[in-house]
Amino acid sequence: MTIIRTEEVLYHVADIDAPARYCADFGLRPLEPDGHAARFATGTGQVIAIDPAGEGEESGIARIVWGVDTAQALAAIRAEMARDRAVVDEPDGGFLTSDETGFVIGFRLASVETPTAERRPVNSFGQVERWNDRLGTYGRARPLRIAHVALDIPKQGKDEAVAFYTGRLGFKAVETIAPTGTFLQAEGETDHHQLFLCHRTDRKGTNHVAFEVRDFDEVVEGGNHLVSQGWKETRRLGRHTVGSNIFRFFATPMGGRFEYVADMDQVRKEEPHRHWETSPPHHLWMLKTNGQD
């Protein structure tokens, strides 16, 4: 039952215009709506979809669809979910159900696209990759893929929430921070995590979606472009302690935040689960400022 990536994240929102502008400014590729109010894609074809919220419904993530590698794996996951919860089949051959916290989750065959982005040559002491040339500017970010999704969950039931993903869907608990939450790696992935269940906030809700870009410069320039378009930065440029990735966070008009990431830890399946009884420092470093431009 191999889940290889996040295939789609659907948001329900009060207003379509601002979210659509935000996704375009963030660097996602516009798609045909295909039954939704708006759709955008990463370089590898993962989708952010946007629909109007129902009456009394808060803006935020309404559904996460996981991409599966084979039809046999998809059928096995469907059979496992149908043992104790409702399953709704979708026209695309996938299906929808819910997790232990009540988030709507779906599964379908992954449809992976190959992005055209190339790695920039880097010069460092003792290793020269770039001769007689200078670097150009990205100008803005073009996210390659959805790296992970972070969900807020209530503290009550947090262990059951984690056990659902590890015991029934093949995720690996890579690291747990007792006061905060658990980082989970999908069976078919090597990134430090594809899902973070955060109980620090002690409520069910949207935390953030992280998008991988090529390198440090693209994290910086993508964020600078968002600032120039008037979007609010919620956490300045830094490098995480857990996961080691470079990060930059921006509030979204869909609820929660989007994060640019680069240089994430890769973790083998045999690596032991790491448990923190107290929270480690949030970052190895974060950009400091004296308040001046």
122 in a structural domain = no
Q: Kindly report the CATH number assigned to the domain that includes residue 244.
A: 3.10.180.10
Is residue 127 in some structural domain?
Answer: no
Q: Rounded to an integer, what distance in angstroms lies between the CA atom of residue 107 and that of residue 204?
A: 21
Domain holding 89, by residue range, is: 3-113+142-286
Q: Is residue 223 part of a domain?
A: yes
Q: Please check whether residue 93 lies inside any domain of the structure.
A: yes
How open is the CA angle 68-74-158, to the nearest 5 degrees? 75
Give the integer Cα–Cα distance in Å for 87 and 49. Answer: 21
pLDDT tens, residue order, the chain (293 aa): 599 999 999 999 999 999 999 999 999 999 999 999 999 999 999 999 999 999 889 899 999 999 999 999 999 999 999 999 999 999 999 999 999 999 999 999 999 999 988 889 999 999 999 999 999 999 999 999 999 999 999 999 999 999 999 999 999 999 999 999 999 999 999 999 999 999 999 999 999 999 999 999 999 999 999 999 999 999 999 999 999 999 999 999 999 999 999 999 999 999 999 999 999 999 999 998 876 55
- Asked whether 28 and 41 are in contact (CB, 8 A), the reply is yes
Q: What share of the chain is helix, strand, coil (3-state, %, to 5)?
A: 15, 35, 50
Question: What's the half-sphere exposure (Cβ side, CA atoms, 13 Å) at 144?
Answer: 16
Beta carbons within 10 angstroms of residue 120's beta carbon = 15
Asked whether residue 291 is domain-assigned, the answer is: no
Residue at 286: amino acid letter:
M
Q: Indicate whether 134 belongs to any domain.
A: no
Contact yes or no for 97/87 (Cβ under 8 A) = yes
Q: In what order do the strands lie in the sheet with 181-185?
A: 274-276, 172-177, 181-185, 195-198, 145-152, 205-212, 257-262, 246-251, 233-240, 283-286
The domain total for the chain is: 1
- Residue 94 belongs to some domain of the structure: yes
Is 137 domain-assigned? no
